[in-house]
Amino acid sequence: MVNNSTAVAKDNTIRVSPLKLGNITRLIVNLKASKAINQLKFSQKRISMHVLKVLNAAIANAENNQQLDIDNLFIKEAYVGKSLSMKRFRPRAKGRASSVVKPFSKLTIVLEERKNIKSEKGKK
């Protein structure tokens, strides 16, 4: 999965459901890193700032650990998965209780350096 032209960043405890996080990550896959940063900065979703932190960490890993050119970085993949779930209880009528599940999510962003930028501009 990981070779010399890719960089990875992960966050294992993001306090949002995987479905909501998946909606944000689908927006940035196959985008250039600078365009993805702008997309996340101007998003109205609360969770987009957490995704931006993970993306900035992946860019820093690419620059410092793999010595990749940050101008040629594209988001190759973005994985979203379930993490732990906090279980809480709310009081209900007649002495009963109902459960409230507060899910956490995992996020993995994989960046790739692409040399042929001209072919990528034609896509979108």
At 13-49, the pLDDT tens digits run 999 999 999 999 999 999 999 999 999 999 999 999 9
Mean model confidence pLDDT for the chain: 90
Q: Angle at the Cα of 74 (from 68 to 79), degrees rounded to 5?
A: 110
End-to-end Cα, the chain, rounded Å: 25
Residue at 66 is within a domain: yes
Q: How confident is the model at residue 115 (pLDDT cuts 50, 70, 90)?
A: confident
Residue at 119 is within a domain: no
Range of the domain at 33: 6-114
Please state, in angstroms and rounded to a whole number, the distance separating the CA atoms of residues 39 and 26: 11
Q: How far is CA 34 from CA 13, 80, 81, 86, 100, in A?
A: 25, 21, 25, 35, 38
How many helices (H) and strands (E) in the chain? 4, 3
CATH code, 103? 3.90.470.10
Please state, in angstroms and rounded to a whole number, the distance separating the CA atoms of residues 80 and 14: 10
Structural domain total, the chain:
1
